[in-house]
Structures are given as structure tokens and as C-alpha cells.
Amino acid sequence: MKKTMTFALIAFGTAALAHGGVKDKDVMARMEVMKAIGDQVKVIGTMAKGERAFDADAANAALAELAVHSAQIAPLFETPAQDPKSEALPIIWEQWDDFAALAMDTEQTASALAGTITTEVDLRPALGRIGGTCKACHSTYRE
């Protein structure tokens, strides 16, 4: 569990830096969707840590939004766009089906969890499941 939280924080922390100076518009678009995904996970993460007041509606909305954004991962990464600032590894396009399946896993996990948050106790397990899907992809396909 701790590992997942740490991972999530690392993912948020690098977003601003990674974005700067990107010239390729396809690379920018896929970074933007990842940033949006990170922002939704952050809603749940900050609530889980007690840094933000618990709000079941906001948590469920973040999960629903996460599912919508995750559905955009495969379409946005399909073009093997390059940029010196990109952290995407070329192996994505050599193992496209696996990459697309991992994206779908994030979408389906978020979609299944949306609406299930009723008390604060539900936050951490949900975060753990979501974080696992991010990590499954990043560990292979992101620098």
C-alpha cells in the first residue's frame, strides 16, 4: 500500500517538469491526458491522506472522470510521436496490444470503482487498485 502511495506522489511530482519545452503536439496531447489522469488520482490520494475533506461524491466523480480519460490513452498514444522531453519508451509500439490492454485495465478498474466509495475506509483500497494499474504500465513503458 505504501509503495502505491509513493508511486502516486512521484507521478504527480514529475508532471509539471516533464511538460516544459515539449514541441510535438501529439506528445503534448498524451502528456495532457496523463496529467488529467494524475489530477483525478490526486483527488482520491489527498482525501485518503486526510489533506482534503472526505467527499464521497467528489471521489466517485474523480473515478468516473478517470475512466473517461483512461479511454483516451490508447487513441492518443497510437501515433509513435517522439519528443526529446518524452518519457515514453519505444517498446510501446513494439508491444502495442499489451500497452493498449494495460490502458483498458485502468479504464475498467476506474469504471468499476466509480460509485463504490461510500466512507473514508473505501479510499485506500480503491487507490491501491488504481495505482497498481498505473504502475503496471509505467514500469514497462515509461522512462
How far apart are alpha carbons 47 and 65 in whole angstroms?
16
Binding pattern to ligand HEC, positions 7-46, x when CB under 6 A?
----x--xx--xx-------x--xx--xx-xx--x-----
C-alpha cell at 111: 469504471
The single residue among 5, 68, 87, 108 that binds ligand HEC, judged by CB under 6 A, is: 87
Which spans in 49-122 are helix H? 56-70, 73-77, 91-94, 96-113
Q: What ranges make up the beta strands (E) of 1-142?
A: none
* 67 is an interface residue for ligand HEC by CB under 6 A: no
C-alpha cell of residue 26: 501529439
Query: Does 137 engage in binding with ligand HEC (CB under 6 A)?
Result: yes
> Minimum Å distance from CB 120 to ligand HEC?
20
Name the nearest CA neighbour of 37 among 143, 139, 140, 137: 137
Residues of the shown chain interacting with ligand HEC in the complex, contacts defined by CB under 6 A: 11, 14-15, 18-19, 27, 30-31, 34-35, 37-38, 41, 73, 86-88, 99, 102-103, 106, 130, 133-134, 137-138, 141-142
